[in-house]
């Protein structure tokens, strides 16, 4: 009889866990459902930048939806794929550097302006009426006075940097067309702004 009680308790606990898992999946699916399959018109984004190396800046993006209903082509889940070209201007902080020059210790102070030009592929996934997340991958070119190059011993500008970047962001939609956005990106840093 004791073994039967143990088995019954074990099955009841497993049933509760299964019910919670099924309810969580159903809630997530319901939150992602909406009448409109995806954003049909371009989104303008203006943001402030806080770069990983201490620079401050500002920038913007134009997100152009190119496909919708990636997860469920019938439109049961709101998502879209967007091309996201943009521009960022970073104002590098004043950096003091000292180094050995002959028998003396020399120093220099410098700052600079860096222009970033990203082109991203962004996947937007909408949860309910107010939230969306977006992973993003793309390419980026950086032009300008790279103070970090001088910091690492380069005395001349080595040319533009070109490479891959990745990002993850979240939006809080407070109307059909406007939202507050936060994005963490490499190599740039943190971006916070508004989408119109």
175 in Cβ contact with 27 (< 8 Å): no
Percent of the chain with pLDDT over 70: 62
pLDDT above 50 for 33:
no
Q: What is the DSSP annotation of 79-114?
A: EEEEEEEEEEEEEPPPEEEEEEETTEEEEEEE--EE
Of 148, 151, 194, 142, the C-alpha closest to 173 is 194
The structure's pTM equals 0.69
- Chosen CATH of 36-195 out of 2.40.30.30, 3.30.700.30, 1.10.287.1770, 2.40.160.20: 2.40.160.20
Residue 16 has pLDDT above 70, yes or no: no
Q: Where are the domains of the chain?
A: 1-32, 36-195
Return the pLDDT at 140.
Answer: 92
What is the three-class DSSP state of 4? helix
78-88 pLDDT per residue, tens: 888 999 999 99
């Amino acid at each position: 009889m004791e073994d039967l009680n143990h088995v019954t308790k074990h099955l009841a606990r497993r049933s509760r866990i299964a019910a919670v898992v099924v309810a969580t999946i159903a809630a997530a699916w319901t939150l992602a459902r909406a009448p409109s399959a995806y954003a049909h018109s371009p989104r303008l984004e203006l943001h402030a930048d806080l770069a990983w190396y201490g620079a401050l800046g500002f920038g913007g993006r134009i997100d152009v939806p190119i496909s919708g209903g990636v997860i469920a082509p019938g439109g049961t889940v709101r998502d879209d794929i967007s091309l996201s070209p943009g521009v960022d201007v970073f104002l590098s902080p004043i950096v003091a550097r000292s180094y050995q020059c002959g028998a003396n210790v020399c120093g220099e102070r410098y700052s600079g302006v860096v222009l970033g030009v990203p082109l991203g592929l962004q996947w937007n996934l909408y949860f309910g009426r107010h939230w969306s997340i977006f992973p993003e991958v793309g390419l980026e070119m950086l032009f300008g006075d790279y103070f970090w190059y001088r910091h690492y011993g380069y005395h001349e500008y080595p040319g533009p940097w070109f490479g891959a970047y990745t990002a993850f962001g979240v939006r809080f939609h407070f109307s059909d067309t406007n939202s507050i956005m936060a994005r963490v990106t490499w190599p740039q840093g943190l971006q916070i702004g508004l989408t119109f």
